[in-house]
Amino acid sequence: MFSRPGRAASPLSPESSRVRRDPRQLVRLLAFARPYRWVFVVGVVATLVSSGLNLVFPALFGRLIDASFLRVGSTDTSQLDRTVVALLGIFALSALFGAAQSFLLSRVGAGVVADLRRAVFAHLLTLSPRFFGEHKTGDLTSRLTSDVGTVQTVTSTALAQLAAQSVSLVGAVVLLVTTSPRLSLLTLAVIPLVIGTAVTIGRRIRRVSREVQDAVAGANASAEEAISGVRVVQSFTAESLEEGRYGQGVTQSFLAALKRARLQALMAGVMSFLTFGALAVVLWYGGRLVMAGSLTPGNLVTFLFYALQVGGTVVALTGVFNQFQEALGASGRIFELLDERSDLPQPAQPAPLARAEGRVSFDGVSFTYDGETEGTRAAVLRDVTLDVPAGQVVALVGPSGAGKTTLVNLIPRFWDVTGGTLRVDGRDVRDYALADLRAQVGLVPQETLLFSGSIRENILYGRPGAYPDEVEAAARAANAHEFISAFPHGYDTVVGERGVKLSGGQRQRVAIARAILKDPRILILDEATSALDNESEALVQAALERLMQGRTTFVIAHRLSTIRNADRILVMDAGRVTEDGTHAQLLAAGGLYRDLYELQFRAEQDAQADLNLTTS
């Protein structure tokens, strides 16, 4: 089976994270319940009251039995009547407090899950592109959804159940001993066996639960990649390949879940046998005591109810223990994500940058994607030094892999230089807050990403607080207003996921309108017209000309005809700037730029000649 290339183990990979099962993670998890602590406290009180009331009804039930069986032939039913009324009152109160605790604790759980998901997502957005390049999207979304959902019970019902069942266990044991000390010894002898079983099997359940979470995340990652690249999958008729890959991940998660189910079934079976086996022995011995006159039938029934409560409570506590084991695995994956730190540190006291002039300077800049500063074998950029005045249009040309895109991606600090210094307005970009720096930079890439909302929402992404007339003005400047107005819903037209309902030229013009609305001082155009037909390119090029006015602009283009009018052209090769000048100067110099230009010019002439032959 073909598989995608593997990745080195990272802090978030299953290989490295499987060892991180510190129970103190649950304490961190409970910190998210702090805003709901009073709701939680009231819910716990309701749970404790309900559990306390459940301890009362066995005694009343035993009294009911004695009032019936020990007074055969009597016509006085007053005691029987009073006992039944008391029982009904106990059941009503227990139901009322039970409903209250169910609602209140569910409210806490839902709130904690919502806050935790917001915190994880907000933290994800602070991480650098390096992090997202090393981790699969499906794994991250799995942590954001299923793992967070798994810990919901711990932050709500599990803790309350732990308190309630503990109260029930202690109360039932005390009442057992009070009712019949000799019978109590038989019942309590089973508890160490039950606890030992819960601890032993519970540890294995925790390990397998982590395997389930990892397997589900792996399957989600495969599905995410296949769905996002469905056109590539279908164009290569690789549907069966992707089905097999996803099916393999699902099978792994199924087998892990099956293993967990076997362990849980084993625990439930052992608990059930120990509990009801003990009750059978109690019933046998208790019957002998009743026959001997040492115990009334009502006391035996009361004892049996308390014994059932002890057994049920122990089983319930083992269930809570299992929930904590599962939550440990899931919370470990969540906190690994929250503990991840960006490799783009923020300055302690950032320099102000309200409105940049737009001057950009590279001083001996080198860069490697592995972050190493020594050696140049893996360097993408090597000792780049240049100064771009504010408002200048700079074109970057060169063969693929020369480092053009990497160079401009350093300006908004998607990556940090590994050597030298990059400055904006005379200060190191690392002196500015990331948000302030990136607010000054606009990006129009080759592969335009639109979000699955309306055209208006996508343009407003440039400046969310803009007025409708500003949105329309930006669209007009981007040559987008005409085609937008032609849609039945105009600016409220939904573009679909990644903008699939629009053509390439339309998506690009919406992206330009978004950049115009942002009004950046520094503009990066990365192959913005390379994938367009001639008509669309002309419209987009006209829009770009308006967008570039008065801004420091970096233009990356393979079509040299689109950058002739640049103030300055930089030729890059093997990570270095090898030529610097205007179009005419570089042609006259006779270097790489001239070779590229002549090669492309001849290719365009040949294409035009072929077109003329076809149409003639």
Per-residue pLDDT at 422? 92
Beta strands across the sheet bearing 427-428: 381-388, 360-367, 419-424, 427-428
Concatenating the DSSP letter of every residue in 173-203 gives HHHHHHH-HHHHHHHHTTHHHHHHHHHHHHH
- Identical fold, 22-339 and 445-519: no
Amino acid at 364: G
Side by side, the strands of the sheet bearing 441-444 are 441-444, 522-526, 552-556, 393-397, 568-573, 576-581
| pLDDT tens sequence across 449-505 | 788 788 888 888 888 888 888 888 888 888 888 888 888 888 888 887 777 788 877
Mean pLDDT of 98-107: 82
Smallest CA-to-CA distance from 555 within 546, 542, 568 is with: 568
In order of 470, 475, 488, 490, the CA distances from 485 in angstroms are 15, 10, 8, 5
Instruction: With beta carbons less than 8 A apart as the criterion, state whether 523 and 529 touch.
Output: no
DSSP codes, 310-339: HHHHHHHHHHHHHHHHHHHHHHHHHHHHHH
Average pLDDT over residues 553-557: 86
pLDDT over threshold 60, residue 257: yes
- Is 374's pLDDT higher than 80? no
Q: What pLDDT band is residue 363 in, cutting at 50, 70 and 90?
A: very high
Per-residue pLDDT for 221 more than 80?
Answer: no
Query: Has residue 611 got a pLDDT over 50?
Result: no
- Residue with the bigger pLDDT between 317 and 411: it is 411
User: Would you give the distance in Å from CA 84 to the centre of its chain?
Assistant: 54
**Contact partners, residue 356, CB within 8 Å, separation at least 6:** 424, 425, 440, 521, 522
The count of other CB atoms within 10 Å of the CB of residue 139 is 22
Which has more confidence, 73 or 520?
A: 520
**Spans of all domains in the chain:** 22-339, 358-440+528-536+552-616, 445-519
pLDDT at 607 over 60: no
Query: What value does the mean pLDDT of the chain take?
Result: 78
Distance, in Å, from the CA atom of 613 to the CA atom of 233, rounded to the nearest integer, reads: 36
Confidence of residue 362 (pLDDT cuts 50, 70, 90): very high
Give the C-alpha separation, 344 to 259, whole Å: 42
pLDDT at 371: 61
pLDDT for res 9: 40
CATH code for the part of the protein at 445-519? 3.40.50.300
Reading the block at residue 510, the tokens are 């919406």
What distance, in Å, lies between the first and last C-alpha atoms of the chain? 51
Q: 34-38, 425-429, 531-535, 611-615 — which is least confidently predicted?
A: 611-615
pLDDT for position 484? 87
Per-residue pLDDT, averaged over 368-390, amounts to 76
For residue range 306-327, what is the model confidence (pLDDT) as tens digits?
Answer: 777 777 777 777 777 777 777 7
- Least confident among 111-120, 231-240, 305-314, 344-353: 231-240
User: d(Cα 581, Cα 395) in Å, to the nearest integer?
Assistant: 10
Say if residues 569 and 397 touch (Cβ distance below 8 Å). Answer: yes
Percent of the chain at pLDDT exceeding 70? 84
Could you tell me the maximum CA-CA distance found in the chain, to the nearest angstrom?
125
Question: 345, 401, 348, 343: which is closest to 372 by C-alpha?
Answer: 343
Confidence of residue 604 (pLDDT cuts 50, 70, 90): low
* Structural contact between residues 411 and 524, judged by C-beta atoms closer than 8 angstroms: yes
Residue 279: name the closest of 178, 197, 187, 188 by CA.
187
Report long-range pairs for 403-408 (Cβ below 8 Å, ≥24 apart). Answer: 403/367, 403/572, 403/574, 403/575, 403/576, 404/556, 404/572, 405/526, 405/556, 406/367, 406/380, 406/381, 407/362, 407/365, 407/381, 407/554, 407/572, 408/524, 408/526, 408/554, 408/556
Give me the pLDDT at residue 14, please. 43
What is the rounded distance in angstroms from the CA atom of residue 356 to the CA atom of residue 555?
19
pLDDT of res. 18: 44
Sign of CA dihedral 399, 405, 411, 415: negative
CATH code for the domain defined by 358-440+528-536+552-616: 3.40.50.300
H-state helical runs in 450-533:
455-460, 468-477, 481-486, 504-518
**pLDDT for residue 75:** 62
With 80 as the cut, is the pLDDT of residue 78 above it?
Answer: no
Our measurement of the distance from residue 302's CA atom to the centroid of its chain's CA atoms, rounded to an integer in Å, reads 51
Closest CA to 543 of 512, 506, 570: 512
The residue among 231 and 435 whose pLDDT is bigger is 435
Residue 379 falls in which region: left (phi positive, over 0), alpha (psi -120 to 50) or beta: beta
Of 471, 533, 490, 491, the C-alpha closest to 508 is 533
pLDDT (average), residues 130-150: 77
Question: What is the pLDDT at residue 246?
Answer: 83
3-state helix, strand, coil in the chain (%, to 5): 65, 10, 25
At residue 353, what are phi and psi to the nearest 5 degrees?
-150, 70
| pLDDT given at position 530 | 57
Q: What is the mean pLDDT of residues 113-129?
A: 85
pTM for this structure? 0.68
Tell me, what's the pLDDT at 231?
62
Residue 436 pLDDT exceeds 60: yes
Check whether domain 22-339 has CATH 3.40.50.300, yes or no: no
Strands 393-397 and 552-556: parallel
Look at 164 and 287; give whichever has higher pLDDT: 287
Stretch among 225-239, 485-499, 580-594 having the lowest mean pLDDT: 225-239
Give the Cα separation of 176 and 197 in Å (integer).
Answer: 23
pLDDT beyond 70 at 421: yes
**Residue written as tokens 């407090």?**
97
Split at pLDDT 50, 70, 90, the class of 81 is confident
